[in-house]
Amino acid sequence: MSDTPSVLFVCVHNAGRSQMAAGFLTHLGGDDVEVRSAGSAPAESINSAAVEAMAELGIDISSQTPKILTPGAVETSDVVITMGCGDACPVFPGVSYRDWALPDPAGKGVDAVRPIRDEIKSRVEDLLAELVPARAGSRR
């Protein structure tokens, strides 16, 4: 792992779960972590309920766009976190893979997205404490 760990969040559409996770890690990790997200079958645009749910916590992900998952993005990441994309992720030696089983927010309203958002936030906080232990004491 380099001095700055890199994390890639992957879900099918790269429009909800992975975008919220990337938003949280960028917000909480600052320059201590390199954050990317991608999808195995990217949607046309980001999920508006995910944007609204994140905005409630002061995190703006509205300018993000779904991106296609590439082998290069996986190979250059220290940690790859998948969220329901199954075997679409290429596997490379030396990369840590984790699967977060989370409901897909696609087609759901903001009320249904909030609990998914909150679970992602909790998991991202734990991940950040693991990757950058010095920051663990500075969590809000």
Which residues participate in catalysis according to the annotation? 11, 85, 89
Its sign, for the CA torsion 92, 45, 106, 42, is: negative
Angle at 14 between CA 9 and CA 15, to 5 degrees: 125
DSSP conformational letter for 133: G
Q: Which residues pair with 39 in a beta bridge?
A: 11, 68
| 53 within 8 A of 110, measured Cβ to Cβ | yes
Whole-angstrom distance, CA of residue 73 vs CA of residue 71: 6
What does DSSP assign to residue 37?
E
